[in-house]
Structure 1
Amino acid sequence: MSERKVLNKYYPPDFDPSKIPRMKLPKNRQYTVRLMAPFNMKCKTCGEYIYKGKKFNARKEDVENEDYLGIRIYRFYIKCTRCLQEISFKTDPRNTDYEIEAGATRNFMALKLAEEQAIREEEEAREEEASNPMKLLENRTKQSKNEIELLESLEELKDLNRRQEAVDYDSMLLAYDPTISQREREEKMQQLDDEYIKTIKFQNNQKRKLVVEEEIIEEDEPVVKVAKAGKSSSGESKNQTGSKKGVGVSSRKMLAGLVKVKKDEEKREEKQLSNGLSLLGAYTDSDNSD
């Protein structure tokens, strides 16, 4: 099967290339090429907007007596899509861009203006450093200060890395035995926690006694009986009788000066009781006589 596109052509044995006549073409010949609009533009004649990326059949030619570092500059001609006005622009290899020449105006492009402004400021700063040695010294001190700060931050990062290297992850992974069940692992952790709790020494050993309720009974001698007494804060167990006796004695000593027996009232009560008994005896005598 023959090829659709023939790459190798047949040359007869008596072929002589010098006999082929050569065409005489003009020096600056124009070629028809297919291209897209490199930027947004507005036609000066009809005001039609031509957006970036719109395709045109353009004519291309070389710009005479113009180049940039040996790079050839080309000019392109396109026509407006509305009024067919011819628009021309050429390449700008210095700024890696295109430059409008005639027939239209380039629309505002903030990015291009910002880049041009940055380049302009950089050139001005370079010229100022070259003419003003104090400015150059100031810039160098700022640069050295920034370098010192960067070195300090780098040292901090190195210290952090050294601290993390102290943890041996390999040994931790080796210590972890997958054959041990979850229950055994939990029991082991509980045992370690209990041992740690036993090693802790509590320093708060102060004891306090709290009296919840007291009952005072007046007799011939002031006696104080304690019905209920609070337990010590340390949690030590004591016999109930011993605690009551100790609290009773201590409370009797403390309240001995506070409790006063009213003797006059006791004498009055005894007299009333004796009078009542005498009347009762008289009443019983009268019944027996009857």
Structure 2
Amino acid sequence: MGERKVINKYYPPDFDPSKLRRERRPKDASKQIKVRMMLPFSLRCGTCGNYIYQGTKFNSRKEDVEGETYLGLRIYRFYFRCPRCASEITMKTDPKNSDYVCELGATRNFEPHREEARQEEDAKRKREEEEDGDAMKALENRALDSKREMEELHALDEIKSANSRNAKLGTRDVIAALRGATGEAVEAARRDEEDEEEVRRLRDLRSKSVRRIDEEEERAHRDRLLAVGSGFAEGAASASAPAARKRTLGVSFAVKPKAAAVVVAKKARREEPQE
């Protein structure tokens, strides 16, 4: 089994290739060569609609395309069959675009990168057409290109400087930085723990200084306050009644002598002229 898969064969020193028998081939078969290859792109069969993905292995027949060359390079055509319906599919090489072209029996799937490349080519061609015969437009485009290149070089310099700074860091510097960061984190955690402990202590002191009163005790205390308030009100009313009486008597006594004095004075003034 191992000898069957080797590529290089052993040729003895007395090997003479002229003594080998030549095989006869048909004239049509001499133009086509059987090769095994992988599909270079994804496509869809035009007969059954089956999708054949890139990298699928298959046996194909290769031949030279007569009358078609590109800058002296030969163009090859490949024939293979759909794995589902066995319909024949044809494709050929495209040296101009370094790609393949699906000729017959299938359609190529949409590929975003090919579309981007086509758009770039269209933009480049359009720019060349605009700059043809317009010196100001060419100057503006060159100025924009130089500005873009300067920005890219500036960004590249920043990346290089950052990489150089990182490259200068040694093992000790990295360990010191990690230890410093760890120490700061430990110190922050310790401060947070101390603050939490202080808050907990103040909360405990407040809970101890405040005396909790039950509902029954609070109700009894309220009843005692109401009883004391009602007794005080009754005593105040009984004490205020004689005082009010005394005040009225005092007023009457205070008013009556004044009135008597006035009457005596009037009588004295009347009796003086008669004498």
- What TM-score do you get using the length of structure 1 for normalisation? 0.45
Higher helix fraction: Structure 1 or Structure 2? Answer: 2
